[in-house]
Amino acid sequence: MERTLTEKRLTELLKYSEADICDFKEKIYNIEEEGSKVSFLKDILAMANTIRYEPAYIIIGIRQKDGHNEFFDVNPNIDENNFISIIKGNIGPEYPEFTYYSTEYKKHRIGVFEIGISKTGPYFSKKSYGQKVIAGQVYYRYGSINSEADEAKVKEIETWMKMGRTDNFKLVSQQLELESGILVYKNILEEIKTISSRVFLW
């Protein structure tokens, strides 16, 4: 899939704390360790199922603390296929659109898991890992927290996914047009007020 995290976009994301479309982690997941592997699986599931109109990111090599961003360079030779194998072996009904890559940001090397907008979900784990990941349970991001979706939320996610990426981008475009129209309208009103005040003073 296309890589969309530009330096400008990352700078914008770093202005805020973690949210439903972005998660920062100091170190990359250790898939040889069970707990870390399960955390990776749950994070990808939650991001993939979160209703949004742009890609979601799990960014490796950044720690946010007390309003500051600390950087920890990641290994540029990490093999994406190791993570793809976990996704393919655990997630159903199919696996979501995602990729891993590393990139430079202001002389630092960071890792990026980018999760696209897919329409073959909602996604779930095909097997349980204790109580942390339960087979068949749909997870999504609520703010910065991975949450369990109830029946109503699952239906909401299903509806969003059925719309497809093209329709989602149409919605964004329509929203931008609406906001643009409102801005133009407000500017006209301000001009009318200015002219009116000048006429009154004259």
Residue ranges of domains in the chain, CATH in brackets? 7-163 (3.30.950.30)
Q: In the predicted model, is pLDDT for residue 117 greater than 50?
A: yes
What band does 194 get if pLDDT is binned at 50, 70 and 90? low
Q: Which residues, 6+ apart, have CB-to-CB distance to 98 below 8 Å?
A: 1, 44, 48, 87, 113, 114, 115, 116
Per-residue pLDDT of 63-98, as tens digits, reads: 988 778 899 999 999 999 999 999 999 999 998 999
Pick from 101, 138, 104: which is nearest to 122 by CA? 138
What band does 189 get if pLDDT is binned at 50, 70 and 90? low
Per-residue pLDDT of 148-180, as tens digits, reads: 999 999 999 999 998 865 444 444 444 444 444
Question: What residues pair up with 23 in beta bridges, in sequence order?
Answer: 58
Pick from 73, 78, 80: which is nearest to 110 by CA? 73
Pick from 63, 60, 40, 30: which is nearest to 139 by CA? 40
pLDDT of residue 15: 85
C-alpha neighbours within 13 Å on the C-beta side of residue 112: 26
